């Protein structure tokens, strides 16, 4: 009788909650993408679970060449070398790059990796550069905090951070002249907590 009452209460609560509240779960899963710089193509994977992201750089033969563990809550980055079985803390000493951009959000759409993506044109007259993003919205709440934590200097990251209303979206494709980032696969799935930990037996690399 108690279990039946509990089930009834649960069902009643779920019916009272708005559909958006039930669906608004932060993304958890794996995003695979390629980075093209001229003739060079590099493959990466993001493993995402809550405030933690594991970034893997994949070699031409499919081997993991390097790993970064990003904690957006503590604002820390740890680099891991599978080949040398070493890890090191990555200090964030660089000042965030501040640029002024103009943003044109178009109504043009494209299907990428199973998502309907909207075309955004982001320009910086002072830098004389323009990046075209195709963005998907699906509770990708991890992405902007990850960019802020990594504090990268490349324009793909810097320009995107300047866009208002950039929370919860993910650029499935970013193109600028001879450089581009393109998502090839997105898989929603629970991720093991051990993916975001330093593997046992790895030693800390200390700078002299």
Domains of the chain with CATH codes: 29-204 (2.50.20.10)
So what's the pLDDT on residue 14? 37
Digit-by-digit pLDDT tens for the chain (208 residues) are: 444 444 334 433 333 444 433 446 899 999 999 999 888 899 999 999 999 999 999 988 889 999 999 999 999 999 999 999 999 999 887 776 778 899 999 999 999 999 999 999 999 988 889 999 999 988 899 999 999 999 888 889 999 999 988 989 999 999 997 789 999 999 999 999 999 999 999 999 877 6
Positive or negative, the Cα torsion across 11, 13, 14, 18? positive
Q: Which residues contact 155 (CB under 8 A, 6 or more apart)?
A: 124, 127, 129, 131, 176
So what's the pLDDT on residue 16? 41
pTM higher than 0.95, yes or no?
Answer: no
Q: Which helix H or strand E contains 69, and what residues bound it?
A: strand 64-71
Three state DSSP letters for 161-207: HCCCCCCEEEEEEEEECCEEEEEEEEEECCCCHHHHCCCCCCEECCC
So what's the pLDDT on residue 165? 87
């Amino acid at each position: 009788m108690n279990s039946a009452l509990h089930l009834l209460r649960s069902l009643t609560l779920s019916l009272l909650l708005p559909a958006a509240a039930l669906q608004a779960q932060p993304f958890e899963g794996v995003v695979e993408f390629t980075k093209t710089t001229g003739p060079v193509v590099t493959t990466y994977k993001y493993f995402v679970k809550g405030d933690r992201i594991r970034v893997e750089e994949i070699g031409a033969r499919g081997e993991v060449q390097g790993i970064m563990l990003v904690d957006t809550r503590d604002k820390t980055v740890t680099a891991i070398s599978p080949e040398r079985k070493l890890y090191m803390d990555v200090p964030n000493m660089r000042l965030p790059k501040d640029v002024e951009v103009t943003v044109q959000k178009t109504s043009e759409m494209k299907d990428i990796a199973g998502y309907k993506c909207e075309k955004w044109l982001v320009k910086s007259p002072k830098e004389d550069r323009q990046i075209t993003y195709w963005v998907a919205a699906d509770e990708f709440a991890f992405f902007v905090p990850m960019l802020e934590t990594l504090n990268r200097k490349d324009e793909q990251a810097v320009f995107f951070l300047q866009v208002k209303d950039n929370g919860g979206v993910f650029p499935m494709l970013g193109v600028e002249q001879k450089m581009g980032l393109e998502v090839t696969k997105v898989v929603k799935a629970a991720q093991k907590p051990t993916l975001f930990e330093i593997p046992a037996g790895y030693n800390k690399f200390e700078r002299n």
